[in-house]
Amino acid sequence: MSKRIRVLVVEDSLTVRKRLCEVLAAASELEVIAEAEDGKRGIELCQELRPDVVTLDMMLPMMSGLAATEYIMAHCPTPILIVSSSINRGELYRTYDALAAGAVDVLEKPRGDDTDGDWEGRLVAAVKLVSRIRVITHPRARLGVLGRTPAPAAAVPLRSPRPGAQVVALGASTGGPGAILEILHAIPSPFPLPILIVLHIGDPFATAFADWLDGQSSHEVAFARDREPLKGDRVVLAPPGCHLAVGGGRLLLKSGPERHSCRPSVDVLFESVAWEYGAAAAACLLTGMGRDGAAGLLEVRAAGGVTVVQDEATSVVYGMPREAVLLGAAEQVLPVGAIGPFIASLAAGAEEPS
Which residues carry out catalysis?
173, 200, 292
Phi, psi of 313 (to 5 degrees): -65, -35
Distance CA(147)–CA(208), nearest Å, equals 16
- Other CB atoms within 10 Å distance of the CB of residue 353: 18
Distance CA(54)–CA(35), nearest Å, equals 10
**b/e sequence 143-166, b meaning 16+ C-beta within 10 Å:** eeebeeebeebeeeeeeebeeebb
Encoded amino acid at 209, one letter: F
CA–CA distances in Å: residue 93 to residues 34, 89, 97, 140, 237: 28, 6, 6, 17, 16
Contact yes or no for 205/95 (Cβ under 8 A): yes
User: Of 198, 189, 166, 180, which is closest to residue 277 (Cα–Cα)?
Assistant: 166
Contact yes or no for 232/257 (Cβ under 8 A): no
Q: How many helices (H) and strands (E) does the chain have?
A: 12, 14
The per-residue DSSP string of 256-291 comes to ---BTTBSS-HHHHHHHHHHHHGGGEEEEE-SBSSS
Which residues have CB under 8 Å from 214's CB, separation 6+?
A: 220, 221, 222, 235
Evaluate the CA torsion angle 336, 219, 265, 348 in order and state its sign: negative
- Strands of the chain, DSSP E: 5-10, 30-36, 53-56, 80-84, 105-108, 167-172, 195-199, 221-223, 235-237, 243-247, 250-254, 281-285, 306-310, 332-334
Distance CA(299)–CA(123), nearest Å, equals 35
